[in-house]
Amino acid sequence: MTWTYDVTARTDRTRVRERVGDVSSTEPLVEDEVIDEALTELGTVGLASSRVARLMRARLVRLPDRNIEGVNVTRARLEAMDDLIRSLDAESGYGAVRATMTAGGTSRSAEIAAIDDPDYEPVSAGWADERVR
């Protein structure tokens, strides 16, 4: 796996790295292939950045907590990563509801429209209407 960053190259990969803060060659966090896959699958720098930030957070979770003079280093990094993810999600719309599901009954107008449909066939409740004893 490779890691590259060139501040003068204005590629989508560079933009993702800058947005998630993975710009230090001494402590690389995400490989080029991971960023490229996110860009290919999601299509935009914003959405890819949100996914890459989540992957970075998943890696940070596996690190042991380190306590340096009363400061919990890993926890602080995780909290900062959570803030970054929330910010990137809000900006790109990643994680936004793409589909909705309705539970419960239908509206009266939808029920009337369904009953008036010539293909409508009522379904009997069958065993569901029997009381358990």
Does the predicted model carry a pTM greater than 0.75?
Answer: no
Ranges in the chain, pLDDT < 70: 64-68, 70-73, 94-108, 111, 114-115, 120-133
pLDDT for the residue 27 = 83
Structure-block tokens of residue 130? 């029997």
- Separation between Cα atoms, residue 104 and residue 125, nearest integer Å: 15
Domain ranges of the chain: 12-92
pLDDT at 88: 83
Look-up of token digits 């949100």: 50
Q: What is the pLDDT, as a whole number, of residue 39? A: 93
DSSP one-letter string for 74-110: HHHHHHHHHHHHHHHHHHH-TT---S----S---HHH
pLDDT at 102: 55
What is the reported pLDDT for 79? 81
C-alpha angle 20/71/62, rounded to 5°? 50
The pLDDT of residue 95 = 64
At 67, give phi and psi (nearest 5°).
-115, 115
